[in-house]
Chains A and B, each alone.
Chain A
């Protein structure tokens, strides 16, 4: 049969009108209508979908419609043929996660069979989705100098509206869902990232946040859905190495910075960073069985900032994936990852890292296993089902570098000898997902999805002091170890249980109007386990919430040509199931025992110093308010998108978010005495001697074992006569406007410019682990009532990001740039008062804000990163060999990323003078060059 091929750059006879409908999770779909030149339906046309894992066929029905549901992300060609018509093929049809590609064919009657090939590029604007497109496309991922050392936590910081792990004002790091091939890899304790993985493993990243459909839940920030590479019919390989050492690193510590904080005068030096990746994939049985194997070893050795001299981090990782198509209607996937995280020289406290000498560090041993098994069955072109079992197991142990009790000197404020504590964290998480998706036509077109999720996770946290002693010295008056000491520890085990059900629809009411209604129900519980199982009252469950979360969105094609869309949404997002929401309610926390030096005492340390108990702070499990509500975020969005050209998109989105049901702990039977004092004298007159309101605990003995976990908003603090001294507020609000101008790769260049104008304020900060759990924030009215309202740490007022890449022809040199300019948020001076003044609280409970929250602004951070890549195409272009050089912080900026916030100053080990308030705490990393080489086919 003669085939006459034409390659056409534009769709003259083929109406390519791709559009997107959000509705799937790890797959997309393709659908369309086959028509003739007059626009009439063409039934019986054979439509063939061809991709890396084989082909699928469909036949257009009486209305000319065809569908391919559950299509894995990747590049495809789609061919429509019918005898008597000239066949048409669309090439380069790129399917992404969660998108439906609408591809119509107009067939021309032909006297001889011709095949015309057109490019099936997707449109840049999705006129059927109410979600905001925050995709990190492959073009962006692999052409921009993005090389996060920990892809899990850092990829989302490249998207507009997300900075320092805080998405649209949400709590940093803990509020974001992190999925790896559908596996939730967050720590079930508090939601932070647990699984680390290689950037080279990433095939595609889909970020859902604004207007996310009901199938996405258990988060209040954004969801990062990372799809890893897999095998197909063609053998593929990726071999990559990148390296740097101290000769490629600059010093950005200025004399002024060193003078303000002498601990920074000894900056971090990278002695070596080496990342080696080897990946290989291909078919085992053509069109049926495919494999992927990956190995990575990451090694970082540094001389850190401050008195420490070593930090050594080694992460070996192995990945394997099998994709199996036992029948044309079934696909099965198995994924397995084993990785380790080994660290020498981890500081005893991240907040006090600059104080750490080598003896005040620990070693981290953190292995884990991750697995996923998935089965997908197509019942026909309109219906498919998925079942997935995912999970992981791991732990991280922190053992002190020096196995001896630690010392803290109350006079100098310095730690010494050893970090003095150990900590062991065990985790396990399993989840079963099942869903069914169905396409139906009734009053329009519906993409329906119904799903169930069952999550079970376990957490065990252990903490204690070496030899059950931590020395509290007063070296100015007593020899070391002859003043006081204390002991504390805990062994907490818990189980999280969650079941979720969701139903969502992408309802195309007319050709121009799409509605996206959905609803999600989460039942979240917490239980003690291990020795604590059974519970204090015989009922083992300590936490129980049931949450309904409606979602609604709309998208309206304003001009009818798939180029302009007005979209909006209202969504409720409930937080995930976390151990930290109820861990304080579990038995397993030891009493804090205070000892006084006594040569005849029975409690003796390793050097023969002995002590007698003189005080004990009893530990009692908190009660969980039976009416406690689970943390939730309400979100409104309204957006406009316009395709300026076929490759350029402009998007403007207005966002309003309010965090509700924030949780905390209080002592309901506590009574307080309001007092006033003056702040300490210091270098800044505006903070010296200013009046400060604080509260003394009037009845700690009667009330300190009466802790309760509640939603503290509205909680009243009472004086000894029962009068209201003040009412707690627990809230967080975000308002933002997002402007994005995107150009995808064409004519050798791509780019993205974004600007976000936003405001985040409240009474609960958003710098991580603030939305739930027990803390002194609401236990101590000195913290809850004094200067509590204002701007938050991650209140990023003006965010400007630019990414661009250009491939210079002839010499085949790629140049990529990433610029970001953000104001880094706000901070507040605080003074830590003595325990004589603010009694019965650990140090954090005695920190009182001296000005309204967020009164001071961090410096604006502006950084430029570049990549230069020389590409060699060999073997007729089938192999791509490149050498590249990345430079981060090209202009060697030395912007502080944190400041010393304690008034008037703080002592730092190895530094003669205390470091004053406002001095730089950490500095952005200096200019660094990294060299790399890659072979890919």
Chain B
């Protein structure tokens, strides 16, 4: 029991020291990392926010700028007419057909069923 406890203590000493050091160490800066932001004051209305709030009453959500879709949608007809669409459809059909065939052909039917 004593031996296992001392083993645990030794095993834990280095990681514990590492933890304490890492907690209070600033992470290394990297070129693509944002500097930490300043903690803001309490969220009381600012002149800018007040102006924005005033605009809300007049703003019709339908007038707001609509962002373009993140991905462009390919119409079904154009996809299935493309070589990629044809190939995908054929492979998918072949795959499903083969699996259906296999489920009948390779099935080991139990005599009691």
Q: List A residues at the B interface (Cβ < 8 Å).
A: 1, 9-12, 15-17, 35-46, 48, 50-52, 55, 57, 59, 62-64, 76-77, 79, 81-85, 87, 89, 91, 109, 113, 115, 233-235, 237, 239, 276-280, 282-283, 286, 293, 295-297, 314, 316-318, 338, 340, 342-344, 363-365, 367, 395, 397, 399, 424, 558-561, 563-564, 640, 642-646, 650, 652, 735, 737, 739, 757, 759, 875, 879, 937
Which of A293, A296, A343 is within 8 Å of B92, CB to CB?
A293
Task: Give the contacts of B69-113 with A (CB-CB under 8 A).
Answer: 69-71, 73-74, 76, 79, 84-85, 88-89, 91-92, 94-96, 98-100, 102-103, 106-113
Report if B2 contacts A (CB, 8 A).
no
**A40 contacts which of B43, B65, B71, B109 (Cβ < 8 Å)?**
B43
What residues make up the interface of B, taking CB atoms closer than 8 Å to A? 4, 8, 11-12, 15, 19, 22-24, 27-28, 30, 32-34, 36-37, 39-41, 43-46, 48-49, 51-53, 55-56, 59, 61, 63-67, 69-71, 73-74, 76, 79, 84-85, 88-89, 91-92, 94-96, 98-100, 102-103, 106-113
Is B107 within 8 A of A340, CB to CB?
Answer: yes
State how many angstroms separate the Cβ of A44 from the closest Cβ of chain B. 3
Query: A41 — which chain B residues lie within 8 A by C-beta?
Result: 43, 45, 49
From B11, B44, B63, B84, name the one whose CB has the most chain A CB atoms within 10 angstroms: B84
Given A316-B99, A397-B113, A109-B48 contact (CB < 8 Å): yes
A595 and B52 CA atoms in complex are apart in Å by: 94
Chain B residues with CB under 8 A of A560: 39
3 cross-chain pairs, A with B, having the tightest CB-CB distances, nearest first = A278-B95, A39-B40, A44-B56
Residues of A within 8 A of B108 (CB): 342-344, 363-365
A1 to B66, CA, bound (A): 11
User: Cβ of B96: which chain A residues have Cβ within 8 Å of it?
Assistant: 278, 293, 295, 318
Q: Are B71 and A52 in contact (CB under 8 A)?
A: yes
Is the CB–CB distance between B84 and A365 below 8 Å? Answer: no
Starting from the known contacts A363-B108, A364-B108, A646-B32, 6 additional A-B residue pairs (CB-CB under 8 Å) come to A40-B48, A42-B52, A45-B52, A235-B79, A295-B92, A297-B102
Residues of A within 8 A of B40 (CB): 35, 38-39
B97 to chain A, nearest CB (A): 8
Looking at chain A's contact residues, the main secondary structure is strand
Question: Closest CB-CB distance, A219 to chain B, in whole Å?
Answer: 28
Contact A297 B67 (CB under 8 A): no
- B102 CB to closest chain A CB (Å) equals 4
A363 and B41 alpha carbons, distance in the complex (Å): 72
User: Could you tell me if B99 and A36 are in contact, using CB atoms closer than 8 angstroms?
Assistant: no
Docked-complex contact B46 and A38, CB < 8 angstroms = yes
Complex formed: what's the CA distance from A237 to B85 in Å? 9
Instruction: Identify the closest chain A residue to B69 (Cβ).
Output: A50
CA separation between A531 and B76, bound complex, in Å? 55
Given A40-B49, A293-B96, A342-B106, decide whether A424 and B112 contact each other with a Cβ distance below 8 A. yes
A35 CA to B53 CA in the complex, in Å? 12
CA distance A407 to B96 in the complex (A): 44
The residue on B at minimum CB distance from A37 is B48
| Residue in A closest to B95 when the chains form the complex, CB atoms | A278
Partner of B70, one of A77, A81, A937: A77
> Complex formed: what's the CA distance from A340 to B74 in Å?
36
Whether the pair B91, A39 counts as a contact (CB closer than 8 A) is: no
Given A48-B67, A50-B69, A318-B96, the answer on whether A399 and B110 have CB atoms closer than 8 Å is yes
| A176, chain B: closest CB distance, angstroms | 27
Give Cα A737 to B99, complex, Å. Answer: 46
Q: Within the assembled complex, what's the spacing in Å between the Cα atoms of A296 and B98?
A: 9
Closest CB-CB distance, A613 to chain B, in whole Å?
Answer: 27
Q: Which among A39, A50, A55, A317 has the highest number of chain B CB atoms within 10 Å?
A: A39
Partner of A81, one of B64, B89, B92: B64
> How long is the Cα–Cα vector from A344 to B91 in the complex, in angstroms?
29
- Interchain CB contact under 8 A, A316 and B102: yes
Closest Cβ of chain A: how far from B89's Cβ, in Å?
Answer: 7
> A55–B51 contact, CB under 8 A?
no
A559 to B15, CA, bound (A): 19
Contact among B39, B63, B88 for A237, CB-based, below 8 A: B88
Q: Which residues of A contact B63 (CB under 8 A)?
A: 83
Chain A residue contacts of B102, Cβ below 8 A: 297, 314, 316
> Which among A15, A278, A399 is the interface contact of B91 at CB below 8 angstroms?
A278
Bound-state Cα–Cα, A277 to B52, Å = 54
Q: Are A280 and B88 in contact (CB under 8 A)?
A: yes
Q: How far is the CB of B65 from chain A (nearest CB, A)?
A: 5
Which of A38, A40, A342, A399 has the largest number of chain B CB atoms within 10 A?
A: A40
State whether A937 touches B84 (Cβ < 8 A). Answer: yes
Chosen A-B contacts, 19 in total, with CB atoms closer than 8 Å, are A10-B33, A16-B34, A44-B52, A46-B64, A50-B69, A62-B53, A63-B43, A81-B64, A82-B59, A84-B51, A109-B48, A293-B92, A297-B98, A365-B113, A563-B27, A646-B32, A737-B12, A757-B11, A937-B88
